[in-house]
Structure formats: structure tokens, C-alpha cells
Chains A and B, each alone.
Chain A
Amino acid sequence: MEFRTCSFTGLKIHKPAEDLIKWNVITAVLFLTLGGLMGLLIGITRWPSVHYLDPTYYYRYLTLHGFDALLVWIIFFEVALVHFTSAVLLNTRTVIPSAGWIAYSLMLIGAIFVNITTFAGKADVLFTSYVPLKASGVYYTGVIIFAVGALTAFGHFFANIIQAKRDGAYKHSLPLGSFGMAAASIIAVVTLAHGAVIMIPTLLWSIGLIKYLDPGTYRLIFWGLGHPSQQINVCAMVAAWYMVSAFVLGGKPVNEKLSRTAFVLYIFFINVASEHHLLVDPIFSNWHKIINTSYVMHLAVFASMVHAFAIPASMEVALREKGYTNGLFEWLKKAPWGNPAFSGTFLSIIGFGFLGGTTGVIAGTEQFNIIRHNTFFITGHFHGTVVVGTTLAFMAFSYLLMPYIFKRELIMPRLASVQPYLYFIGVSMVSIGMMAAGALGVPRRHWDITFSGAPFSFTFDPSVDMFLSIMGLGTLLAVFAGVIYVVVIIGSALFGRRVAP
């Protein structure tokens, strides 16, 4: 039997899809562990009273933190979502499972290349690897192999939905969760194409086959990779929000047309936000900057605001149907706050919107960017989006995957149910501490903000120490909650009590 019926959701689950989801999730979690460990080390280095690592290791581990957490953890998890939404959610099969395994192997090999070269000290270039900083050719080869693997995996999404339509798994419209992942996959193609266009010349340059690579061109094309990859995250995260609302509460979008319109706005307009990385760059004209970051990009910001209220609304409607109809907020009080899939999702929506989203819109404005660029404010902003938002949403979703896909109960359910709260509080402290320090001028990617030994001296506002300490304490809490997450997920996958299939 290639198919089984899930006793929780009634979905028909194809065995190869199930295996692909399992392996991608577990690999993702292992790289999150590595990335989180690096986060701990650099976090306590930026905490002035600890200042743990020496400069070489600070930059080395910062490179690994960016690569493993931002790219490897997130993209492996997204590939799991690709299979979940293009096969499981459609009650159909995953076509050519071997393509899924090839993609998986390429991504894994690429990630291992990058990790080994960086640990060996041959690639202290940070994950942006700005030319003319030069890493060993193995590093760029690893990035390229990883990207080819990821492209194969997202291509698999399209193969699956086309086959599903032929098989009659759906007639016209994909379910909303799959539609969101379709948006993510489209954006992924744009992203990875830019990656290929820039990483291949950079590889040739690093091994000496090309003499000169223009740094301005590198930055332009690199951010066609670096930024849209964050938009894959946003789409996948929003798709996960809708799915958790549907699976945990039976919530349906209040207005499906509106929700889909918001995804379509993402597909068309969100990628040009790459420009916000170039706002202080003297090369580009004001018109290029203004059109890209304001007029066009705000259509995508609008879409995020639609989702941010459409999902709580769908939860509210579902809870009201369950009978929690007193007053304005009874549904909110009686919501399943002890279920980590629900609480993680809700906290992710709040954190993404109010820590990450609003600050991103501020920092992405040309006039504000000039005083925010490359300060710790930026790092604070994207720990709001990519950690409190995406990472927490994926953590929440993986709590659902345990019974549905791994057919295991969570071990230590009590600990699991407080994990999202601890992680939320910890990372929010990290994010807010960074933003406050950055608003006072503290730079990002900087080992020594006392500038000891420099020919000039500069002292920051004394409150900076306090804000960086808030970040440091938040680091400890976030890492603690991260450890709980890893232990619960890996432990449940291996030793959790089996549930009926």
C-alpha cells in the first residue's frame, strides 16, 4: 500500500511524500541546532560584559550563523512544506520521488561543503560574501550545489500540482495552503536564478579564471538572491499560518478572494524590495530606488497587512462557531493556548507584524535608511521577521507534523506547550535590544564597538550597554527555548509514543 489515511485529518498520505517530509524536517532541525549554537556564541560576544569570542571566531561563526539558520534550516523546512502542500494536502501522490531525493542530497552536500570550508577558516566572508572579499572556491561551489538542489525541490512543486490536476485531485483552484506555497515556489525560482547568475562568476573569479568582478553589480544581483529568499519565507510562513488555523481550529478564510489577492500581490511585487539593501548605494538613481522601495513594494506590504488580520479573523470565526460568542474577546480567551502549534502560530503573527514588519517598513524607507543602514537596528528588525516570524511559525507547524506525518506523540508535552512563549520572549528581547542599540548608532557585524586602539575615540550613549545586555539575556532565554524545541522534536521523532496512522 502506497497510501494511508491520516486518522487526524482524513488526508490521504503518499508514502514517498511522507518520507521526504520527514527527512527534510529532521535535517532542517539539525541545521537550526547548529545555527542556534552559533547564535549563542555571537550573541554573547556582542554582549559587552561577556564579549566571549575573539575576532576571528566571531566573524567565522557569524558567517555560519547566517548561512545555517537563514538558508539551510529555512529552505529544508520549506521543501518539507512543498511536499506537504503539493501532495499530502491534495490527497495525491508526489511524482518522481527520486527527484525529491536528488534535491535533498544536493542541498545536503552543498550545505556540508559550506560548513566545512567555513569551519576550516577558508570562508570568513559572512553569508553575503561581498566581492572583493574572497572565499575558497569550495564555498561558492557549495552555495551553487545547494541552490541547484533547492531549485529542483521547488520545481518539484510545479510537477506535482500539474500531475495532480491531471489525476483530478483538484479541478480549478488549489487549496489556499497550496496556493501560498505556489507563490513561494514562484518567488524561489526568481531567487535561485539570480543566485546562479551571480554565484557562478564569483566562483570563477575566486579560482582565478576571471580577473575582475564589479562589486556594484555583485551587490545588485546578490540581493536579487538574498532578499527574495526572505520572501519565500514570508509566503511559506503565511501558508503555514492558514494551515494551522485550518487544522487546529477548522478555520476557513473569511474572504478567500481577498486572501488569494494578497498572495498574488506578493508574487508580482514583493521581490523588488531587494532594493532596500542598495538605498545608500550611490550607483543607483533616485527613481530606481523610489519606484522599487516605495510605490511597488508597498503593494506587498499591504498584502501582509491583509494576511495579518485575515488569519486571526478566520480563527475568530471558527472559535465563535464552537460557541465562544460572549463579548468581543471570549474567543481569544478560550483559544487553545496550551497547544504549541496554535500558540506558536499566534505569537508568530504578532511578532512578525509588530516587531519585524513595522520596523522593516520604517527601515526600508529611503529617508530613514540613511540613518539605519548597517546598524544593529537592521539585525533587530530581521530577527523579528525571520526568527519570531518564520522560525516560530515553522516550529509551530512541526508540532502538527509529529502526529500527522511522523505518527508519533510529542514527548514532554508540558515543556512543548511553554516552548513557543519562551522562544517568543527570548527572541523579542534579542530583537528589541538590537533595535534600541542600533537606533543609537551601534553597528552590526562589528566585534569591538569600543574601538580600542583606534586613532580616534568614540563613545556611545551609556544606555547602549543596557540594551545590549537585554539582547544578551534574551539570547540565553531564546537558546534555552531552542534547545527545548530540538529535544522535543528529535525526541518525539525517535521515541514518541506511536499513534494510530
Chain B
Amino acid sequence: MNRINYLFQTKKERILSIYVTAGFPKLEDTIPVLEAIQAAGADIIEIGLPYSDPIADGPTIQESNTIALANGMSIKKIFSQLLGFRAKIHLPVVLMGYLNPIIQYGVEEFCKKCKEVGIDGLILPDLPMSHYLEEYKELFERYGLFNIFLISPQTSEKRILEVDQHSNGFIYMVSSHAITGAKAEISPEQEQYFERVAGMNLSNPRLIGFGISDAATFQLASSYSQGAIIGSAFIKHITNSTAIPEDIQSFIQAVLVKE
């Protein structure tokens, strides 16, 4: 069974997913960071593949992408780092990235490598549903990769149902009209949207991401869904860290404190 499905079958609430850019802050930090995230008690890891033009990302993740690229990170490099990582990491891992580097690497080769190293799913913000269904679905399925779709407050009810029909694993609920890393508070309109989607009885679980940064926002998001995703706040926390495992431990434990 795909690790993502297994997780959602065995854990129903307060699922914490952490996003980190591959090769950040230093090129060889990828695996130690994954280990620390797992040790600290998170449930899912999203590894960001750095890109020169990440249009769905805010300044914090953009900057981490720029640094990772300058460090020499690439798709080839991340696969070489991930070779054998399943000996240490049992959490579900999804890769999040933009389409162009994957196309240049070769989509089928990419999927094959994902399966080989033990990747469970993909989040590709600039791969819309129609192109996915026509060009990619069959390939992803052949290599056991879940495609995680995004929805936003603007997504119509009809389209959410379509997304639900084509999703596996979970649905990524973008919390607001925003790119990643935008403001830290959750507004009443956002709560209405969380509530509306929660009431739709979708067949897939939902994680809420973008703007989730601490125990309070994690708790609130979790009250409307199975859990949440933290990216920018985590990246910020480790940017200048000199003690990465300890800093990750303290960050994640602080998020998981029940208020």
C-alpha cells in the first residue's frame, strides 16, 4: 500500500506535513533534515525541487530555491541523495516541483526514479488537471505515484468534486488567495471556506497549506481537516541554523503542542 494511504488510514487528525527545499540550507543537508523531521514527530515530508521561476511561491521559498540551486541542487542530485534513504526514513515523502525541470529530465525517467528511491507522490503546481489527465496520469499510476491536486477558495464546488474524483492520497487545500508564506493569521472568510469544504463529504482527506506557521494556525487548520502543511515558517527557522537537528526538533514540537 502507498505510504500516504496507510498514514491516512491509521491517523485521522492533526497530521503534520513539513515542506523543505532539497539541498537547503546546504547541499548535503537534505537527508539529515529529513531524519530530523521524522525524529521530531511530523507525519509527511514534502521535498521541494528548486526552480528558477517558482510562480506559486512567496519570497521565503523563492530564496531557498535560489540558494539550493546555487548549492548545486538538481533533479539528478536529489535522486542520488535519495538513493537508499528508505533505510532510514519511513514517513510518506512527496516531491513538490515545477514541470519544466521534470520535462527536461524526462517525465518517464523521473517517475521511474521516484519509484526506485521510494517516493510516494508528486505535487506539481503548474500541472493543471486537464494536462494531467491527458498526458501524465497513466505514467504516474504505472509507477505508483499519487498526484496531489490543489484547491483554493476560488475553486468551484463542481471542480472540487472533479478534483476529488481524480485525487489519490489527499487534497491540498490552499488556505487563501495567496502564494506560499503569506500572512500568519487565519481570517473568518478562510474559516468559512474550510468549513464549506469540510461539509462536502469528499472521499479524500484534506491537508491545509499556505500560511500555516505555528501551533495556533496548525490547530485551527486541523479542526477543519485532517491536518496541515508548513513550509515557509519551517524554511525560515532553519535558514541560519547552526544546529539543524535541535532546531527542527524544537520547531516541530512547538507546533504539535496542544493549546
Do chains A and B interact in one complex? no
